[in-house]
Amino acid sequence: MVVAERKPIEEILAMVADFKKVLLVGCKGCVTVCCAGGTKEVGILGSALRIARKKQGNPLEVVEHTLERQCDPEYVDQLAPMLKENGFDAVLSMACSVGPQFIAKRYPIPVYPMLNTTFIGGALEHGVWAEFCQSCGNCLIHNFGGLCPIARCSKSLMNGPCGGSANKKCEVSPEIDCIWHLIYDRMVELGQLEKLRPVFPIKDWSTSRDGGPRKIVREDLKL
Amino acid sequence: MKAGSNLEKIFTQGHFAVTGELGPPRGASVEVIEKKASHLRGVVDSINVTDNQTSVVRMSSVAVCKLLVDMGLEPNLQMVCRDRNRIAMQSDLLGAYALGIRNVLCLSGDHNRFGDHPQAKNVFDVDSMQLITIVKKLRDEGKMLSGQELEGVPKFFIGAAANPFGDPFEFRVTRLAKKIDAGVDFIQTQCIYNMEKFRKYMHIAHEEGLTEKCYIMAGITPLKSVGMARYMANFVPGLDVPDYYIERLKGVDKKKQADEGIKIAVEQIQEVREIPGVKGIHLMAIEWEHKVPEILEAAGLLPRPSVN
C-alpha cells in the first residue's frame, strides 16, 4: 500500500493561517490502513486545528468528511454538494498526494495536502511501516530471493553488498538492514547462491519514472 | 598491453606496484594539489584521485587528474556511481581519456547521507560492477552502452575496489570474482588492519585462481594517532581495526604516536608482501601525503622502477 504520515501540526497551522472555514477530507483507502488519513485521523486533526485556532482567538470552522477513496473521480464527485456555496476557503486532503490532485482537478478551490506520501510499503509490526517497492515498473525480485535491492539497498546496488555492509546493517544507518546481507542469507537458505554469481546486467530505467510520468491503459476495461 | 599506463607496465614487467592517493581540495586551489603531488612525485607508480570522497564536494576528479598529467604524474581516476548516470559517466570517461588519463577506478561511492550535502538527490543508475562493464565495452568493443560506435576508443586500465572486511565475509571473494568477470584489471582493497582475515580472504582468492586474473593491491592507511585508530574502528562501516593496534598506539607517548603509526604501516606492508597473490600496495595516507616517502623508504619500496 501507499504509506503516508501526517505533516507536523505547525506546518498545517501555517498553511491554514488565513482561512476561516475549511473542508477536511479523509480517505478510506491505504491511508486508513496505515493510520494516517482515515475517519479517525480526520477527527483528531479537525479537533487539533479547532483547539489551536480557538487558543489564538481566531477560530477555524472545520467540516469533516471521509471519502471511500480520493483516487477515483466517482468518489471525488461526492464532494460537489458540500463545496457548493458553503463558503469554504480551502479543502484539506488527508489522502496520499493523489487525493489532493484529484480534488484540485475537479474543483476550483485551493487544496492543501495534510500528509507526506512516503513510500510503497507494508507494516513490520503494529505502528511500524517500511519501504519495500520503488515502483520501477519492471519487477526483478525473483532474481534476488524475492527481496528488492532497488528499493531496499541505499545505493540500489544490483550485484551484492557494498563495502559498508557490517553486521547485517547498512552503512547509512544501523536502523536499516543491509538488504544484500538478507538476500545472501535467503539465497543460501534456498540453495540458490550460484544465481548471484553472474554480473547482473545494467537496468533499463525507462519503465520507471525516468521515462516520464507513467500511465496504464487497459483497453479491455475501458467503457 | 590494454592501456599502456605506467601502472600497467609496472605490473606486466613483474614489479611490486605502489599507488598513492590525493584528495582534491574543497575549493579551486591548484596550489594545494601541487603541494600534495610534490610529496608523491617519484615515490608512487600512479596516484588515485578521489571522486568527492565521503560525499563531500571537492574539485572534480577529472580536472585534478588532468593537472597531474600536466605535472608529468600518472593519475588513477576514481569514478563513483552516486553522482552520474550512464550518460554523464561515458561522457566523462571519453573526456578523461582525451585529457591523457589512462587508469580508472570504478566505485559505488559513499552514500550522500554522510557528506556535506545530505539533501542531494543521488543517482546510482548503474553500480560499480556495471560501471566496470561500461569501461570495458568502451575499451574492448569500441562501443558505447547503446551500441554506438566510438570515434576514438578510450584504452583504460580498469580498476575497482574490494573490501575483504565487509559482511557477509563468505560473499566477498564472490564479489571479487564478479568484478573480474565484469572486466577489471586491478583491484585496490579497503585499508587492511585485520591481517589474519585478509590472509584468509587472499587464500580463498588464490585457491580459486583469481589472483592470476587480476592484480590485487593491498590497501594500507597509516594510523596517525590512537584517536584516528579509534575513529576507524568505531565509525567507519566495513573497517576492521583490531584492538591490538589501538593498545599499541595507546602504549606510546602522544608525541611518538605518529612514528609508531608509521612503524605499524611499514610492518603491514612487509606482511602483505608475503601473502601470495598480492601484487602491490595502495597507500592511502589521508591528509598525510608528506609522510609517504618516509613510509615507502622504510618499507624498502624506493626507488620506484622506471618502465618503458
Nearest-CB residue to B171 (from A164, A184, A202): A184
Report which secondary-structure segment, H or E, holds B268: helix B257-273
- pTM exceeds cut of 0.90: yes
Residue of A nearest to B110 (CA): A164
User: How confident is residue B308, by pLDDT bands cut at 50, 70 and 90?
Assistant: confident
Set of chain A residues whose Cβ sits within 8 Å of the Cβ of B162: 163
Cβ-Cβ contacts under 8 Å between A and B: the total is 105
Q: Which CATH architecture has domain B6-298?
A: Alpha-Beta Barrel (3.20)
Nearest-CB residue to B108 (from A155, A197, A198): A155
Given the DSSP bridges, would you call strands A90-93 and A111-113 parallel, antiparallel or unpaired? parallel
Nearest-CB residue to A157 (from B86, B127, B168): B127
Q: Which CATH architecture has domain A2-118?
A: 3-Layer(aba) Sandwich (3.40)
| Contact across the interface for B129 and A164, Cβ inside 8 Å | no
| Contact across the interface for A196 and B171, Cβ inside 8 Å | yes
Encode pLDDT of B135-157 as tens digits: 999 999 999 999 999 999 999 99
Find the angle CA(B274)-CA(B277)-CA(B278) to the nearest 5 degrees: 60
For residue B235, pLDDT over 90 is answered with no
Each domain of chain A, given as residue ranges in start order, spans 2-118, 134-203
The ipTM of this complex is: 0.95
Of A41-45, A85-89, B296-300, the one with minimum mean pLDDT is: A85-89
For residue B121, pLDDT over 90 is answered with yes
Hey, what's the torsion of the CAs at A156, A161, A166, A169, to 10 degrees? 40
For residue B237, pLDDT over 90 is answered with no
Angstrom distance (rounded) from CA A87 to CA A29: 28
To the nearest whole angstrom, how far is the Cα of B257 from the nearest Cα of chain A? 28
Encode pLDDT of B10-29 as tens digits: 999 999 999 999 999 999 99
- Output the average pLDDT for chain A: 97
User: How confident is residue A79, by pLDDT bands cut at 50, 70 and 90?
Assistant: very high
For residue A159, pLDDT over 90 is answered with yes
To the nearest whole angstrom, how far is the Cα of A196 from the nearest Cα of chain B? 9
User: Is A194 an 8 Å CB contact of chain B?
Assistant: no
Encode pLDDT of A124-156 as tens digits: 999 999 999 999 999 999 999 999 999 999 999
Angstrom distance (rounded) from CA A57 to CA A75: 35
User: How confident is residue A85, by pLDDT bands cut at 50, 70 and 90?
Assistant: confident
Give pLDDT, residue B194: 96
Give pLDDT, residue A86: 85
Encode pLDDT of A37-51 as tens digits: 999 999 999 999 999
